[in-house]
Chain A
Amino acid sequence: MSSEKKPSWKIAQSIARKLGAIAALALLGGLLSATFVRLAPGFDADERELDPSLNAESVQALRQARAGEHNILSFYASYLRGAVHGDLGTSHALGQPVQTLLRERWPVTVRVAGIGLLLAWLLASTLAFTACLWRFPAYEILGITVSGAFLCIPAAVLALLSVILNAPGYLAIALIVFPKIYRYSRNLLAKAYALPHITAARARGLGEIRILACHVLPVAGPQMIALAGITVSIALGACIPVEALCGLPGIGQLAWQAALSRDLPLLVNLTVLVTLVTLLANSGADVMIYMLSPREA
């Protein structure tokens, strides 16, 4: 395969195709999540049914309240129709239009997850790179113990700890995500370092930094970038308990609420959003890998 420059319209075409695929997958995700929620037991059940002061008609009315969502396909069709006009439905639990809720909350989550993720990568890469550069056994053990420790602490406990210590929420996210990054990146880097040409380069007297930059990173790089893509998804997942416990009014807290109350409109929108973000992050990583990888004849 020769490294010809593709004509720009072909590039645009492939980008458009990719974006179309992403959109289609996101919508499929919405439909699947709606199906899951609908099929799970307790869809029709409302806490208020157990209230002895409600009479029979009221309880019936409660049960019928979700009748419009019984047929998943028709619900989803009407949701899509509304979405095209910018109406994403109304949340049952919070009584507000989903669009308003999302608009108010996404900056909080972006901030918390974004900073948390950056911190996690900083921490994990520092640990991993220095472990590879210095190669002290004690350091290795420290890395394993520290990352193992944070993996074993439940996310809820880390979130509570950050509330107790008045630490910002993104710190809890960083501590939840960094052990996973560390584990993967340490292994990838170690594997890259174990390759024969690294020993040869060392024997020839190349500096560690040069070896890292020119010989190790190109090998481990693509996989690290792919890892970066999925850590977005992991960070979003970690946002849910952290925001709920730290009282941060973001999308994670919304997801927690929605799951507890089987709020179908909210859950569908959240799934579509999360799928979009995951797909974009991972596709972005793929594109970056493609652009950075050497073209071989």
Chain B
Amino acid sequence: MNTNTTVRRSSLRFLSCALLCCALLSTYAFAQTGGELRFCLRSEPKTFDPLLVDDDSSLSIRYLTGGVLARVNRRTQELEPELAESWKISKDGKQITFKLRLGVTFSDGSPFSSEDVAFTMQRLMDPALHSSTGDAFRSGNGAVTTNIIAPDQVSISFAAPIAGLDRLFDQVAIMSAHSPKKEAAVLGPFMVAEYKAGSSVLLRRNPNYWKKDSQGRRLPYLDSIRLDIQPNRDVEMLRFKRGELDLINVLDSDYFDRLAASSPGLTHDAGPSLDSDFMWFNQVASAPIPEYKRVWFRSANFRRAISQAINRDDLSRVVFNGHAQPAIGPVSPANKFWFNSKLKAEPYRPDAALQGLQADGFRLQNGALFDKAGNPVEFSIVTNASSKARERMAVMVQEDLGKLGIKVNVVTLDFPSLIERISQKFNYEAAMLGFRNVDLDPNGQMNIWLSSAEDHAWNPQQKSPETAWETEIDRLMRAQASTADPKKRKESFDRVQEIVAEQTPLIYLVNQNALSAISSGVEGANPGILSPQTFWNAERLTLNATTRASR
């Protein structure tokens, strides 16, 4: 009897010890695993091929799954080494040599080496592949050669110098040259586990991710990320409030204030972003608009007057509830290095506007404005219907210009019709749109400022520049692209910003603030203004114990 009791007691003790150890281990494991982060994508991801990615949703997925050689830290805006430990750019700006990290493997276990980098670059520079990432490297014509110096050293040579060459590699997710899984083998913290078209994307932790935190623990902390495809903002907001979503990456100002009122501390306003909203007039010579209107739109006086007649403070205050600032030019003040700090936002001066118009021969009669030839000043602004903020801005601009006797018609169109009008048929008079996910480096705006380019909104694809100021801008943009010296580049681009402020081909309206919402269950978040605002450090995000338990 006694032996049995002793055995029982000792086995009981052993059992309880074992249980305690398990509990401790599981807590440790519990602290290790971070649960599942949930948020929404606003649209269907168009592709999972990292080299072809262009739309917001696909970009988010690429950010989370792709491994890059160097990463722009979304908070400090500095370029940091990732898969490349260091790199060197040649003096002429045509060649970059990377020293790669050793011992890294893809998510399926295949080794990472300079062959993969060469393979990715070759594929990216294939002229048949039309991708925005690739085109960024193609500022000059000519072939790109890659030279594998060693398994951990590779150099890439371009035919012409490329401005800001190293920062461009933030967009290049390295693909595997040999893995049978092709694009499914990734180097980033997560990998695509499941994709239900129209419904959701599930990303799971990459077990072979190379990065470790300062205590030697493997990243990422999270187990998985679930991305639901939900275009409707009301439903997204509802689900966030209910706790079904952990963050809203880009929050509209309407919802920001409502959420801030009911749950302060969950909303984050990171200040003015790089995004801008603007309007412009159609200056295309062959556009099917009345000739007298074309004369108005081509007059810098007219454009400047319109710009002065718009109350940007009201736009920021009313449409964005104060979560926006009057825009100044092509570069937002949040872009500290490239912004020309000598420039200020156009103040609201309707009297100066009227004077400017009168100098051009316009006159006010019975509350309506007429031009020199007696035509009443009336034009339409087209904008896309899916943006409520832009519709409201257009209505406010309509009222502002109405005070000058100008009749403005606001026409909201679906996006494809709008695109056809502004870039193919040119049958529009004025248009209002915005830039999102703007690059820090002005080289990304090359196709807007070059008069021969597609995105030269007011008069694209000119055979040769039709005005003196466009000739000057062409020269300055080419100058900044051909040198690697940041000071010289800034001089040129500062001058571009000044010309734009004088000539106002694009009338910049507001820079919206970067707004987001993060639930209290998420730890480690540090929202900024560069996209992706909230999950740029997804590998270090965790969910607290309560949230994990509730799932």
Contact = CB atoms under 8 A, between A and B. Distances in A.
B444 A52 contact: yes
Contact of B54 (A42, A51, A249): A51
A208 interface: no
A52 B454 CA distance: 8
A58 B419 contact: no
Interface stretch (B129-137, B339-347, B371-379): B129-137
Interface stretch (A6-14, A70-78, A88-96, A271-279): A88-96
Contact of B454 (A43, A49, A93): A49
Contact of A54 (B228, B419, B445, B447): B447
A40 to B, nearest CB: 8
Interface string B220-242: 00000000101110110010000
B484 interface: no
Contact of A95 (B47, B199, B234): B47
A240 B297 CA distance: 42
A55 B138 contact: yes
By size class, the interface of chain A is 35 or more
B441 to A, nearest CB: 11
B447 A52 contact: yes
B122 to A, nearest CB: 18
Given A54-B454, A61-B130, A44 B55 contact: no
B31 to A, nearest CB: 33
Interface stretch (B249-257, B409-417, B524-532): B409-417
A52 to B, nearest CB: 4
B130 A62 contact: yes
B546 interface: no
B463 interface: no
Interface string A78-103: 00000000000000011110000100
B37 interface: no
A43 B196 CA distance: 27
Contacts of B445: 52
Contacts of B435: 52
Contacts of B439: 53
Interface string A244-277: 1111010001100100101000000000000000
A219 interface: no
B420 A41 contact: yes
B197 A48 contact: no
A101 to B, nearest CB: 7
Interface string B432-447: 0101000100001111
B448 interface: yes
B314 interface: no
B416 A43 contact: yes
A261 B4 CA distance: 77
B46 interface: yes
Contact of A52 (B130, B414, B446): B446
Contact of A56 (B136, B238, B433, B453): B453
A70 B100 CA distance: 48
B235 A160 contact: yes
Nearest to A253: B198
B44 A56 contact: no
Contacts of B46: 93, 95
Contact of A50 (B238, B414, B419): B419
Contacts of B274: none
A50 B55 CA distance: 11
A297 interface: no
B418 interface: yes
Contacts, number: 115
B235 A47 contact: no
A245 B232 contact: yes
Nearest to B449: A52
B424 interface: yes
Nearest to A58: B130
A24 to B, nearest CB: 31
B423 A42 contact: no
Contact of B238 (A49, A63, A104, A163): A163
Nearest to A247: B230
A13 to B, nearest CB: 43
A104 B196 CA distance: 10
A213 interface: no
A164 B423 contact: no
B132 A53 contact: yes
A179 to B, nearest CB: 24
A45 interface: yes
Interface string A149-172: 000000000001001100000000
Given A53-B444, A96-B197, A47 B130 contact: no
Interface string B397-431: 00000000000000000111111110111000000
A59 interface: yes
B455 interface: yes
A62 B132 CA distance: 12
Contact of B44 (A57, A160, A257): A257
A253 B423 CA distance: 29
Given A54-B135, A59-B454, A247 B199 contact: yes
Contacts of B446: 52
Given A52-B446, A52-B448, A96-B197, A45 B424 contact: yes
Contacts of A42: 414-420
Nearest to B384: A47
B54 A48 contact: yes
Given A42-B415, A55-B454, 14 more contacts: A43-B420, A45-B419, A45-B423, A47-B55, A49-B423, A50-B419, A53-B135, A56-B454, A101-B197, A160-B234, A244-B231, A245-B235, A249-B196, A253-B198
Interface of B: 44, 46-47, 54-55, 127, 130-133, 135-136, 138, 196-199, 228, 230-232, 234-235, 238, 414-421, 423-425, 433, 435, 439, 444-448, 453-455, 461
Interface of A: 40-59, 61-63, 93-96, 101, 104-105, 160, 163-164, 244-247, 249, 253-254, 257, 260, 262
23 contacts: A41-B417, A41-B421, A42-B416, A42-B419, A42-B420, A47-B55, A48-B54, A49-B454, A52-B444, A54-B132, A54-B454, A55-B447, A58-B135, A59-B454, A62-B130, A95-B46, A104-B197, A160-B235, A163-B235, A246-B235, A257-B198, A260-B414, A262-B416
Q: Name the 8 nearest CB pairs between A and B, nearest first.
A: A42-B416, A58-B130, A45-B419, A53-B132, A42-B417, A55-B135, A45-B416, A52-B447
